[in-house]
Amino acid sequence: MKIPFYKMSGSGNDFIIIDNREGILEGMDLPQWVKKVCRRRLSVGADGLILVQNSPKADFQWRYFNADGTEAEMCGNGGRCVARFAYLTDISGRSLSFDTLCGVMEAEVVGERAKLRMGNPSDLRLDYPISIDGSEYIVSSINTGVPHVVQIVEDVDHYEVSRFGRAIRFHPLYRPDGTNANFIEVRDVHTIHIRTYERGVEDETLACGTGAVASALIGASKGLASSPISVHPKSGEVLTVYFEKQGSGFTDIFLEGDARVIYEGQLWEEAYGD
């Protein structure tokens, strides 16, 4: 069986997107199947895989899987890509909604870009210590659909992201589910540079949408940044985060950036078979 798919990239995060409204993947062991398809060099390869399914309360429902086959609640860059996919394939109009494990999300497609309304964050915690390899580091954390830890560093371009990112991701403080780890350098009140170690990919990625939002909101909470914030990930494809700050909380949070189509094709069984 050949399975149609799109390969898309949102600011450097790449995704396989499949229209599953007719149940073409019925009977598959999805976690294992996703893990095989997301292998680089042995299959299509991607940071994650998105299934578009029918929904009684939105234009469609999505299921988002990390590259390791685990299912996640939210992915900002994936959300922007699936919005443009739905528009290009006539599943929705330019303004649309889709159902997720975090609730119904709204998005708007403009050209090759998409703007996603994010849910209100939770679990904001500022400036607390964690111990890594016998040394103490000050971090902050917030949940922007998935959990994120943010550490402000002096030189993000030369920081040991893989080492410290993995240590934070698996730190006992964040068990059992773990967390994503972001390392940021605030250049000015409207500019943040970021590198992210992503849970589920288990490595540094070129960008992370929910991580960009987390970093912007923590920067604002600490009085270091204000909306709109240009977030520069490792890919160089800039994301823009908009929000309204109300006391210690936030509303009207949006994530905007490119959502480009790389190619469309068909998965042969050789791509996911044993």
> Of 38, 81, 102, 208, which is the active-site residue?
208
Using CA atoms in the order 216, 222, 223, 228, what is the torsion angle rounded to 10 degrees?
Answer: 10
**3-111+260-271 and 122-257 share one CATH topology?**
yes
Look at phi and psi of residue 197 and say left if phi exceeds 0, alpha if psi is from -120 to 50, else beta.
Answer: beta
**Residue range 7-13: mean pLDDT, rounded:** 97
State whether the Cα torsion 25-26-27-30 is positive or negative: positive
What's the pTM? 0.95
Whether 75 sits among the annotated catalytic residues: the reply is: yes
> Of 38, 75, 81, 102, which is the active-site residue?
75
**Residue range 264-268: mean pLDDT, rounded:** 97
The pLDDT score that the predictor gives to residue 105 is 96
Q: Calculate the alpha carbon distances from 219 to 36, 108, 111, 194 in Å.
A: 37, 26, 30, 12
Whether 208 sits among the annotated catalytic residues: the reply is: yes
The pLDDT score that the predictor gives to residue 247 is 87
pLDDT in tens, 14-45: 999 999 999 999 999 999 999 999 999 999 99
Question: For the chain, which residues make up each domain, given as ranges?
Answer: 3-111+260-271, 122-257
**Selecting from 3.10.310.10, 3.40.50.150, 1.25.40.10, 3.30.70.580, what CATH number does the domain 3-111+260-271 have?**
3.10.310.10
Of the pLDDT bands very low, low, confident and very high (cuts 50, 70, 90), residue 273 is confident
CATH code for residues 122-257: 3.10.310.10
